[in-house]
Structure 1
């Protein structure tokens, strides 16, 4: 059973992400600690009592397709109704469109819980959130009024239609065409694949946001436009009308997230799917990136959530499973495996990586809120730049580490972990998609280098490194083993990340292969060091409050020490693979024919 770690979430919100600072922003005055606690506790009930029991059900009895219609896993429809009626789709969306108007910082732990409890289910509101963001940013007021309140209410859900059989990450190859009509609408023709929750029976309508080309569009990504193509057309009064010419022709059979229907959608088999342009022609990719950035952050939260779920299950199993006598001779009979040092190491790794990725993501969410609501324009721009820098790290690092964490979860279970009935394997299978969709880890790493490090000459990266240096100064005033370890290894990590940022800036033009051969190691290095920075801040806060709750804060201190001693040392190795060895020489040493 999944139990949301509400106490740890509140600790991160208050001590690391600066909830009080967010609550002081215009429009967020009610977003205080009491509100956060109440919201998180209610979310924990829904996720623990309603969604968690459906997780295994969805894996064993996935959504299925029959004659163009898709039926969700039994129980999902009722769970979605409870989710929608509770207002959970609208937590972070504007009050003007019937949302709750709460900051992203409070919405983020709710999203984590949703993903931890049932990853397949959570994908439906994730895509709807992205559609809402795109419409709020680029839609006309009429489009916003027609669609956003019903997406927020859960009456309708949203999708994102980018990928085609010949166009994966390279959207310049998109061929779906949009033919303009005399009344200002468009008729769309084409095929889209990998459409998450592209067809289902949980909502009255599905609002597809579709990338397509108009007849005279320029070649490449500069000629892509974005269209609203609902499953059911809207009547003049806003009510649901006739069925649109968009149909699900099949569902994919997948390694994991089986309850989430991944659809192949066909547009225009019977005269053309009716759609309406969002914003201006040929700016579709720009608008879609708004949706993708929202989705990328949310996928990072999927990594955090599935990691925590796997950790909780492994820890419970390790306390219960009796196997072998302790190596120190402290007992003559077999003991539960949590007494064995290597099992402790695995569990501590799972816990430390999960807590660090959670902290970094919540801090990023706070920067997003400051970017949107701070009264000072310059401050908004500053926080937006930090948030944009952190998004590929949150997405890339949190999802990559989720593979390690869920794999360790299987390992803790031993042979039983390989047996589906124990449930540990499902988390491993479900997690495998996370470093792939919404932009692979390599795409996140290229973004981190190109748009986030090189474009400003490393200014944001250096600002974050200054923050790490400030925390190192604070650590210097403290005594104890945990502080000594954190100071030593975070300092080394700070030096490694500083060196790599300088290397990227110095060599990007003269030796791009050397820089981009190390792009994913750079992303992982940034995650480890910036995650370690948050663990150091958590260590400082926990030490100050340890007397209030010795067990909880003592665990925070011990976990921070473990991260310092067992995770942060990886930073120097990553630096060596990027800088010292000029990683492209080894990467490119084998010729194409030698592979």
Structure 2
């Protein structure tokens, strides 16, 4: 497997141009995000990821996580790498300073995760979930809970999880059955007895962190049916004493680990709470408002999952380029010299490699544009906050679809050797396949876009986004045409289409809008590079941006027919007829 090389220059360009970090640094909240510090963080975490996380990627895939006598074991090296991650403070980048964080923009936290995940996607899921737990407790926990749990979560000394899914519920969170019974008296009065089973809990059990803070959705007695009756509870692996020290183990356990297609070093746990009737949890936020609190964590997680598409795309692209430059096979077609050349000289291999680069860079530009909008929303810019709401499903859905496409092309570039596990190309594809599924499938993301997000501010948020693309793409006719198609589809969905029609066209429309935004942001990068920004990218960026605008944008225009095709044809067969 080709060693990971951080994409530092392209990341810095995206952080400056798409996230607008220099503008953020002028605000009181983010005044410390000066250029020198930003460069030091991006370069530093890239070096750390390459040196500590990347060497464990292959061994983690081969050996995986193992459950032994109730304890999850990771291959040698994981504990030392995680300890070093905590010691260097990477977990604390964007967390509040009052709890030991650095208070820097979310944009820079995204960069930390991008580098760690490109180096080792499975390992990176551990800090990724902790970031979400920190945000949920920060926004919805009590003062006492923040004081008690936040400092060690922020440092990374403790890790966090989110527990939603149950065997019978799947994506229908409202169907969950886990219960929380109030404790009326005794040592734990005011807390709750938690009982139930959760599945697909990422890093639900491990020994790398000293404690694990589980955020668990459960129902109170007599709670309303469905999602309106769900509350959120904080359930620590080890009880935490008033002085912050750890007490005895809580009544919870990992029942088993899932045997997965990829991300084998990430323990995906079946967790059981309250087998002995003694699992203690604390209510986070208001009763029956747990889903709202969890969505604070979910929104963060969805952006970070979209980031995984960039991560796996970058890693797969690097490996494919290295292999193509090294693998010699056949003479160049039409060349009088019949000497075999490296396959990177063949046109179709060039097409695949350039497509891989363009898609990955486009997804990165979209990611950091979204992150910059999140940061502006944090400091009170409501328009940016609403725009980020629209961008989140684009980042998550299209970003992870890109990850799969790029990883698949990486296998194709390797030819037969890509199908052989020893090269490592297949691992990238196997690891990538989970990202469009968890944290809300990509179909759910697209449905969210055409139902809730399309109607924000009477449709004004989406219209404003498209208007900005049109205003800044006068010299890009293909991009303008795609943006205008997005306007037409959005209008049809809002004014004429039934709910079934909107949902039937939701994925194509999500792709159209994602490509339009990514193309717009890539065009901004190309203009910045032409103006002297990022001299190291002066040769590559104009080419990758042009490939995206000339080849990928027109493809997205072809999605209009599917986006407006309606649902009638989809239901022209009965359910039984599909099996005929």
TM-score range, shorter chain: over 0.9
* Structure-2 residue corresponding to 1:462: 463
* Structure-2 residue corresponding to 1:339: 345
Structure 2: 5+ residue runs without aligned partners? none
Q: Is the 8 A contact 1:496 1:571 kept in 2?
A: no
TM superposition shift of 1:15: 2.3
> Does 1:502 find its partner at 2:491?
yes
* Structure-2 residue corresponding to 1:587: 570
> Does 1:94 find its partner at 2:59?
no
Deviations along 1:162-186, one digit per CA (max 9) or x if unpaired, are 0001011101111000000011010
Distance 2:157 2:419 in 1: 40
290, 295, 311: which one aligns with 2:296: 290
Moved more, 92-101 or 11-20: 11-20
Distance 1:94 1:258 in 2: 32
- The size of the alignment, in residue pairs, is 572
Q: Is the 8 A contact 2:483 2:513 kept in 1?
A: no
145, 166, 190: which one aligns with 2:196: 190
TM superposition shift of 1:565: 1.6
Moved more, 551-560 or 112-121: 551-560
Q: Is the 8 A contact 1:14 1:33 kept in 2?
A: no
Q: Is the 8 A contact 1:507 1:515 kept in 2?
A: no
* Structure-1 residue corresponding to 2:152: 150
TM superposition shift of 1:34: 1.1
Distance 1:9 1:235 in 2: 42
Q: What is the CA RMSD across the aligned residues, in angstroms?
A: 1.2
313, 316, 321: which one aligns with 1:310: 316
201, 209, 216: which one aligns with 2:222: 216
SS in 1 for 2:341: coil
Distance 1:327 1:442 in 2: 42
Deviations along 1:356-401, one digit per CA (max 9) or x if unpaired, are 1101110111111111124xxxxx2111001111011000000011
Aligned residue runs from structure 1 range 369-388, under 5 A:
369-374=375-380, 380-388=381-389
SS in 1 for 2:215: strand
Deviations along 1:149-169, one digit per CA (max 9) or x if unpaired, are 101112111010000010111
* Structure-1 residue corresponding to 2:391: 390
TM superposition shift of 1:330: 5.4
User: After TM superposition, what 4+ stretches of structure 1 lie above 6 angstroms from structure 2?
Assistant: none
Distance 2:323 2:202 in 1: 33
* Structure-2 residue corresponding to 1:569: 554
* Structure-1 residue corresponding to 2:278: 272
TM-score, normalised on structure 1? 0.95
TM superposition shift of 1:506: 1.1
Distance 1:236 1:116 in 2: 39
SS in 2 for 1:189: strand
Q: Is the 8 A contact 2:507 2:563 kept in 1?
A: no
> Does 1:552 find its partner at 2:516?
no
TM superposition shift of 1:488: 2.4
Moved more, 107-116 or 158-167: 107-116
> Does 1:5 find its partner at 2:7?
yes
486, 503, 511: which one aligns with 1:524: 511
Distance 2:71 2:7 in 1: 38
* Structure-1 residue corresponding to 2:74: 72
* Structure-1 residue corresponding to 2:234: 228
TM-score, normalised on structure 2? 0.97
Moved more, 233-242 or 440-449: 233-242
